[in-house]
Structure 1
Amino acid sequence: MNTANSTLPQQPQVAIIDSNTFAAIGLRSLLKDIMPEITVDCFRSFSELETNDMQLYYHFFVTEHILFTNLQFFRDNKKKTIVLTSTNEPSLVVEKFHSVNVNVSESELVKSLLHLEQSAHAHGNKFPEHTAKEMSKGLSPREIEVLTHIVRGYINKEIADKLCISLSTVITHRKNITEKLKRKSVGALTVYAVMQGYIDIEEIDKLSD
């Protein structure tokens, strides 16, 4: 069944297909944290996935084993498929798909997802486009400045010094940002800032070098 051209729902949905329930729950929690506007469904097997409407999903996060045993389906849905690996040197088959190494820190996984988003823009398939549009909650210019400094890794006192404002003002801006965006973690704010164009992914890479 080829779902590549199917009509997708307004609410972004992704599927995780992983027989390791704890690993799937952990990834779902992380994805929901960094992209709270999406719905994430977990399946322990491909047969479980088949009992649902597979046309609903923007992306399939799938383990290598399940990929190999259902290779034709995922080849037919290559643009939607993201293979979960535990290494930065995937097999020759996996190399033909987008993949992420899940055996890394949250910040590294966030970077990997952002690189996938950037690559997808160039190839005509990306994370749900309304992700960024729907999350635009009218941040003020000053809040955007504070947001970009948070994403760059500065603490509140450093942000206050750089913007020549009081520490309490920074704290207030930070509170307003998280309330407007419904995102609290730095990883979630990073995804938002990059997808909105407030900061470039290359700058994120340099900060972690």
Structure 2
Amino acid sequence: MKKKQIWTLEQDQDSQVIFLRSHLGRYLATDKDGKVSCEEEVPNTSCRFLLVKQSDGHWALQSEPYLRYFGGSAEYLSCFAQTIGESELWAMHLALHPQANLLSVSRKRYARLSTADDELCMDSNIPWGVDSLITLVYLDEKYSLKTCDNRFLSNDGRLVMENRPTTSFTLELKSGKLAFKDREGKFLSPTGPTGTLKSGRCSRPGKDELFDLEESHPQVVFQ
């Protein structure tokens, strides 16, 4: 993605309100007539939006003060729609290197490939080595988690060679953290003593279903 296409999503800690900040440090805003601008250096009431999640994983952005939806075309954007249509639906594409480390918020442990158990475990104190490297594969507006041996995590916890519907997840955001929702509406979470990563029973993300993605830095060993 180009720099102009990257937006930083900031979340109000005391509510469900979000702010969208451009690469120039200015905030997306709208007025009562649906005119969209990006000139505010400090977020105000006109910059407040609500994330309206859709069942297919898309998002709609609703102006909190005016209750209109943000959308449009490549040539013209506005925030005047009273209902959600095709042009008001958005998909989140993370602007980071596809190879990252995955941290469980509840367990405070990193994901790693366990070749002995043939699963992805959330039991590493430090994301050290290639086994802790997770590749995020973005396809058809969904994400898959790929291990260092080129296998994909399925929602039942198995590692498979092919990317398939059971390995595709939509992203949800809660309190600045990420949750991965499978096609059945359930969320990935660590289970058992080793934190085996698979979909649980929850249809709403709690602390167990929340993750952080951290940049994977180069690692060296001195001998």
Pick 1 or 2: higher relative contact order, CA cutoff 8 A, min separation 6: 1
Using structure 1 for the length normalisation, give the TM-score: 0.30
More helix as a share of residues:
1
TM-score, normalized by length of structure 2? 0.29
